[in-house]
Structure 1
């Protein structure tokens, strides 16, 4: 008879399969390489079957290992679901709360709101993950997400707080008599998730007039402010930089929803509920700025021909 397997055995096999190697799997699990090597040998001996084929490209799982990986994935999801349900029953706003958002939303909007929330709920410890990519809330990469999107995942719950308006910006010394097509431009990189904004630039100028592409909105605003070229920016960022002026009104094709999201199992957790309510109300009060309602003196007219 084979020996009984422990949960850690399944975790190790899954980690090796995911990472395609022992060294990376050991680092992920917080153990050293020799321990991982010894434990894998013990598991294979207990099962009396090899779990991985050793290739130059890494460790390739055998059918037995693939079955263990599937079981480990189900077990991992069950543990996460149980944790979310238990945390959803906690009544007092306390503990760690992990938030994910883009750098532009953090510096352009969220930071002062976080400061006010920390003062209101001192027992909640915030862990902010800045990422342009959407993290997986179901796997607890984050508890709450503030995202710019028109298509939030069906697996999450939350509220649409505003519509993020974008417009074309340049420095205050931009020559308004120079047509758009003759201006120097900076453009979002499509890999930023801003394919629509990149296409907006492509439709308005020749490729050789695009002198710089960037993969962060914050970097794009810095480039426009430095005078490298004109470019599209969210109004909540561009309007708050005194050296910039709008060269167009808000562009409907660039607008995106601003969503505050969490996993359904966490929405009743006290710290999550407190954060959603506080931050949602604070951002709603900033809706005019987010949606680009700007006094007339901050806008310049520029020729499109």
Structure 2
């Protein structure tokens, strides 16, 4: 026989929630969350008498005559915050406020994307600690193999404000450098999991050097180079990519350059045509293109930093976005 519980929130609102005796507290919470709006990166914490209810506890162990109290608490688990980062309201506001340089109304620019650490801190309400990722005077220092820098985003806030259905391309500008030698390092772009793409990549060449930075079940491209190695040996792994290529110059590493960044300017087109422009620490230029559908003109690909095998420091500076409306 179903049990009916009266659940009260801090603001005074009360809800009736029905559950079977074999159901868990988790089931009870999920049914309540269908009736109320829980803010991003938050969850409901439930109390019965003076006890905080564990998720696995059976409702048959509760007294339905006693009220249950629920409060909205901020999530502090870093992994859960990372999973929810794409819904962070701050990103939506940045998209809405994107400006038009020089009056070019079809181009919208976000000059500075907040660091993922700042985003997680704002979402959770407390400073976060992530092993192998920290803030420095230069930006972020990453010493793990890979880490999320910007989640995949729905461009709807920007598109609807500008009365557009799609964008034609998006340009990511990422500053980076490292003293790691003979380690492929750079960035990984991953197609949004919400992207509705009917484009088949069959027939396009796929370049995989060693698999680092690529996930077999996800459409992504890893762009890597080798500071201080002769000619830089830049490659793009994944569909449409290419093997190690001479850059026309030997990129200086972090120490040689006096702590200066190389800039990766990556243009990702909704038509599958992608372009890379690298500006070296001394103003050198390298350009190359490849083909792969990473966006449908509605969703921005996720951006990750990458350092093969980790261990040493990848320095990451400013990240900027430039969206070209269709």
Interval of TM-score (by shorter of Structure 1 and Structure 2): under 0.3
Normalized per residue, the structure richer in helix is 1
Task: Return the TM-score normalized by structure 1.
Answer: 0.24
Normalized per residue, the structure richer in strand is 2
Task: Return the TM-score normalized by structure 2.
Answer: 0.23
